[in-house]
Amino acid sequence: MTTYRRNPHLSPEELAARALDGPDGTWVLEEVLHLFACRQCHEQLTEFERAMTAGRDADISELFPSPPPRVWEAIRAEIRAERAARAPENIGLRRWRPDSSTAHRA
């Protein structure tokens, strides 16, 4: 049974999927023939393939460089300040210590 497309072009989703799959992807003969005949779809597929190649070749550390040491020090200082603020003696509690009057005597 042959299915007919309402739009003769391949959708951007189909072309992106083809670019992701690369040459190992499964191709339908109808799509291959359309890509050979349609300059618009062929160019869009080429753009997606270029984007995929650029993404694969990108060095993630260049996109998200490590913050400078002063940022880490500021984070540590904030954590220390929060811990100090929550310390029992700073919120009105005394640290628990064994009471000698209730300790068991041997």
Which part of the chain contacts Zn ion (CB under 5 A), choosing from 20-28, 36-44, 58-66, 91-99? 36-44
CA distances from 4 to 7, 8, 54 (A): 9, 8, 34
What is the 3-class SS of 27-91, one letter each residue? CCHHHHHHHHHCHHHHHHHHHHHHHHHHHHHCCHHHHCCCCCHHHHHHHHHHHHHHHHHCCHHHC
How many of the chain's residues bind Zn ion (CB under 5 A)? 4
Is the CB of 40 or the CB of 90 nearer to Zn ion? 40
Closest approach of Zn ion to the CB of residue 12, in Å:
11
Contact 20/52 with Cβ under 8 angstroms?
Answer: yes
Selected from 38, 47, 48, 49, the binder of Zn ion by CB under 5 A is 38
Task: Report the site for Zn ion in 41-100 (rule: CB under 5 A).
Answer: 41
d(CA 101, CA 103): 6
Which part of the chain contacts Zn ion (CB under 5 A), choosing from 2-10, 43-51, 80-88, 97-105? 2-10
Is the CB of 39 or the CB of 56 nearer to Zn ion? 39
Residue ranges in contact with Zn ion by CB under 5 A? 9, 38, 40-41
